[in-house]
Amino acid sequence: MRELIYCPVCGHKLIERELGGRPRKACANCGYVHYVNPVPAVGILIEMEDGVVLIRRGQPPHQGEWTLPSGFIEADESAEEAAVREAEEETGLQVEIIDLAGINSFPEGPPTSGIIIFFRVRPIGGVLRGGDDALEARVFPVESIPRLPFRTHREVMASWLAARSAGETAIRADEREHEYVVRPAEARDIDEIMALIALIPANRALSDDEWRAVELRLRESAGVEVFVAVSVGTPPIILGFLALSIVRTLTGGRGFINDMAVLPTYQRRGIGAALLEAALKRAQRLSLRTMLVNTRQNPHLDPIWPDKLGMTHADLRQLPIPGLDEDAVDD
């Protein structure tokens, strides 16, 4: 997004002021304040022939990949009207709305911060074909749905699949348990892990060069072990991750957790605690003497596992490693 330089009201050059707890562009001449707000969008789950309609994108980002039909809401239309319009533009299908499927946000982009409203819909007319910026439109049977490149699309698709398998007629994510397994990360997980890393507020200002360095360390660093929580279903999606950095000394070692995230719609379901449990078990097997967590980077960790955290520093908390004598822990 291009940075605004001049006031759109009076044309004077904008300055930076501290307003509402953060720096904002403002005009000293007329008092205009430039607020950068998330843009609203819609995503559409078109239920058809016992499957779901996906489109192959004709434009970046993720050009050539399969996603749900989606697009931004125009200023003069409702979210429901936008969903019906986008469905016809991108798939050729005239649809009617069945239900709200979910609401998510993507402060990490791409291309900018936004809020997306998903709807379940059914076709009532038209002919299935790719249109607008969609190269192709196709019905995918449940067992053949590919991995979707957008995080928010993966989340709503997982909820939709879970609802189908449970025989539900509407998605009630807040009332349903999702099965998952925790395992060490694999090379195929990197794209989804990178999307989760972008969810951590402290990482949103990273430059392109810094992001490339993050991916390189993720792929090649022998001193970092990553655990992921993966949904049980088809296609599986990564619901959360934890990166355990290991520092070895001559007489022992330390573990440090700096990066951890769980998909927004799957938070407060025990996934963070399960990832922490996996990291602690790994620390025990490695005979690490200390495990520290950066709570400034991961402020949500305190409510996840309050009975396991003990204060060691203003921004660091120490986790007790199972089987380790507390008297042996480094101060």
CATH number (domain holding residue 85): 3.90.79.10
What's 9's domain CATH number?
2.20.70
Residues annotated as catalytic are 136
Q: Residue 51 and residue 45: Cα distance in Å, rounded?
A: 10
Parallel/antiparallel/unpaired status of strands 114-126 and 39-48: parallel
Q: Tell me the C-alpha distance between 225 and 215, whole Å.
A: 14
Determine the Cα angle at 198 with ends 170 and 269, to 5°: 40
pLDDT digit string (tens) for the chain, length 331 residues:
578 999 999 999 999 999 988 899 999 999 999 998 999 999 999 999 889 999 999 999 999 999 999 999 999 999 999 999 999 999 999 999 999 999 999 988 877 889 999 999 999 999 999 998 899 999 999 989 999 999 999 999 988 988 887 665 444 444 344 588 999 999 999 999 999 998 888 887 888 899 999 999 998 888 899 999 998 877 888 999 999 999 887 777 889 998 999 988 888 788 988 999 999 999 888 888 888 888 777 655 544 444 454 444 556 677 777 766 544 444 4
Same domain assignment for residues 187 and 324: yes
Work out the burial of residue 156: count CB atoms within 10 Å of its CB; fewer than 13 is exposed, 13-18 middle, 19 or more buried.
Answer: buried
* pLDDT value for 157: 93
Domain boundary among 175, 198, 216: 175
Question: Does residue 314 share a domain with residue 191?
Answer: yes
pLDDT of residue 268: 79
Cβ–Cβ under 8 Å, residues 276 and 304: yes
* E strand or H helix at 213: helix 208-220
The first and second tokens of residue 39, run together, are 């843009």
Instruction: Output DSSP code: residue 62.
Output: S
Let me know whether 3 and 43 are in one domain: no
Q: So what's the pLDDT on residue 325?
A: 52
Identity of the amino acid at 44: I
Reduced to 3 states (helix: H, G, I; strand: E, B; else coil), residue 288 is coil
Please indicate, yes or no, whether residues 168 and 67 belong to a single structural domain of this protein.
yes
The confidence score (pLDDT) of residue 172 equals 44
Catalogue the E-assigned strands of the chain: 15-19, 22-26, 33-34, 39-48, 51-57, 66-67, 70-72, 93-106, 114-126, 134-141, 180-184, 224-231, 238-248, 253-262, 290-294, 310-311, 316-319
Q: Are residues 231 and 318 in the same domain?
A: yes
Whether residues 194 and 136 fall in one domain: no
Indicate whether 94 and 116 sit together in one domain. yes
Domain carrying residue 2 = 1-36
Kindly state the DSSP code that residue 177 receives in the 8-state scheme: -
Q: How many CB atoms lie within 10 A of CB 76?
A: 6
The domain that contains 323 carries what CATH number? 3.40.630.30
- Using CA atoms, how far apart are residues 18 and 22, in angstroms rounded to an integer? 5
CB within 8 Å of 261: residues ≥ 6 apart: 196, 197, 199, 200, 240, 241
How many domains is the chain partitioned into structurally?
3
Are 121 and 249 in a shared domain? no
pTM of the entire structure? Answer: 0.72
Residues 194 and 305 in one domain: yes
Of 112, 140, 175, which one is at a domain's C-terminal end? 175
Q: Do both 279 and 233 map to the same domain?
A: yes
Determine the length of the chain.
331
Q: Is 81 left (phi over 0), alpha (psi -120 to 50) or beta?
A: alpha
Q: Which of 175, 198, 217 is the last residue of a domain?
A: 175
Q: Does 70 lie in the same domain as 128?
A: yes
Are the CB atoms for 229 and 275 separated by under 8 Å? yes
SS3 257: strand
Do residue 92 and residue 140 come from a single domain?
yes
Q: Output the pLDDT for position 300.
A: 57
pLDDT for the residue numbered 324: 60
d(CA 101, CA 118): 5
